Structure 1
Amino acid sequence: MKKDSQYDINIAKLADKTHHFAFDLDRAFFEQFDQQLIPDGNVHADVTLHKTDRLLTFDVDLRGTVRQICDRSLDDYDQEIEAHEQLLVRYGDREMELDDNVLQITADTQTLPFAQHLFDYIGLALPMKKLHPRFQNEPDENPDAATKLIFTTRQEGDDDDEDDSDPRWNALRNLN
């Protein structure tokens, strides 16, 4: 990803209160990243920062559409997304990622690069199964196929008789 200060948040100059930021993410934003997941889009991000002396809480609301490729037909289509995410940033002795949504930064950190977080949140809002809208209302051919697992050792055509079983078990069946 190229460095772009347009999506950096200068936290050093902000007072301890609530701040609001708005970002419009378009093709230029998605081209910054070396990826094929999202080639284009038009997403509006509202970021609310609650800043205290020990913690920064970012509430991110995303709304818009991104260009996707249908898994079934390979046609391009616009996928609507809507997501709400929260990022917690605390101060510590070194910079590190503590959890998926928890970062630690040093007290002398001036700016927080936010572009990667916005891109990741958009990626998380995408459905796993990408279907063009014309396929989304079609029922699955076999709805139980993905959730039902059947295991059997019998071959088709085998009878259900116990006589075909291993003869070593017959002696055990007679024990009472």
Structure 2
Amino acid sequence: MRELKEFTIPFVGLKLGQHSFHFEIANTFFEHFEYDEFNTARINLTALLDKKTTLLEFTLSYDGIVNVPCDITNEAFDQEVSGSYHFVVKFGETFNDENEDLLIIPHGSYEVNIQQYIYESIILSLPSRFIHPGIEDGSLQSDILDKLEELSPKQLKDTAEEGAELDPRWDELKKLLTDK
């Protein structure tokens, strides 16, 4: 996958200490990763780089809104997304990104691309199911919700109240429990 240049941070000219980088993440960022679950995305991300003599420490902090369809009704709504992620960049013989919290880049590198870490931290902070807040508080009126309610299985108590008789064999078995 090709790297997006705006997420490549050149660290060779930076002094030791903390440096802050700000990014605005939009839907085009997720389209680059072929992730099309969002209608729109507006996320503000701050990458705090703490440059030390032998390593780089990154802390990604983000918050914003993604517009997603509800998994139950397919109604679009704004889902808040926020979180942070911390990882370390060290220098070694070869490039190695097998560890999720440690990135090893070759000696002599002068920049690091953090797009994969941004993508993974945002996606993993999302809930596994998107449920419209109107469903939880009962304020959403939808034809789909009405149909789901209509087709939902009725409780056994409802059928007993309507006069439907239970199988008489169960009554005989219940007598065995009381005939000790």
The residue that corresponds to 2:35 in the other structure is 35
Moved more, 1-10 or 118-127: 1-10
Task: State how 1:61-76 maps to structure 2 within 5 Å.
Answer: 61-76=61-76
> What value does the CA root-mean-square deviation take over the aligned residues?
2.4
Contact persistence 2:30–2:36 (CA under 8 A): no
Partner amino acid, structure 2, of 1:88: V
Moved more, 45-54 or 109-118: 109-118
The residue that corresponds to 2:121 in the other structure is 121
The residue that corresponds to 1:92 in the other structure is 92
Question: Aligned-pair distance for 1:3?
Answer: 3.1
Counterparts of 2:39 and 2:53, CA distance in 1: 39
Count of residues in correspondence between the two structures: 146
Q: Which runs of 4+ in 1 moved over 6 A?
A: none
The residue that corresponds to 1:134 in the other structure is 134
Q: 2:11 matched to 1:18?
A: no
Counterparts of 2:40 and 2:31, CA distance in 1: 8
Counterparts of 2:100 and 2:136, CA distance in 1: 31
Identity across aligned pairs (percent)? 23
- Structure 1, unmatched stretches of 5+, are 139-155, 163-176
Counterparts of 2:86 and 2:6, CA distance in 1: 20
Contact persistence 1:30–1:40 (CA under 8 A): no
Counterparts of 1:3 and 1:64, CA distance in 2: 23
The residue that corresponds to 1:6 in the other structure is 6
Q: Which structure shows the bigger proportion of residues in helix conformation? A: 2
Contact persistence 2:27–2:38 (CA under 8 A): no
Contact persistence 2:3–2:115 (CA under 8 A): no
TM value normalised by structure 2: 0.71
The residue that corresponds to 1:143 in the other structure is none
Contact persistence 1:2–1:32 (CA under 8 A): no
Question: Aligned-pair distance for 1:100?
Answer: 1.6
Counterparts of 1:39 and 1:108, CA distance in 2: 41
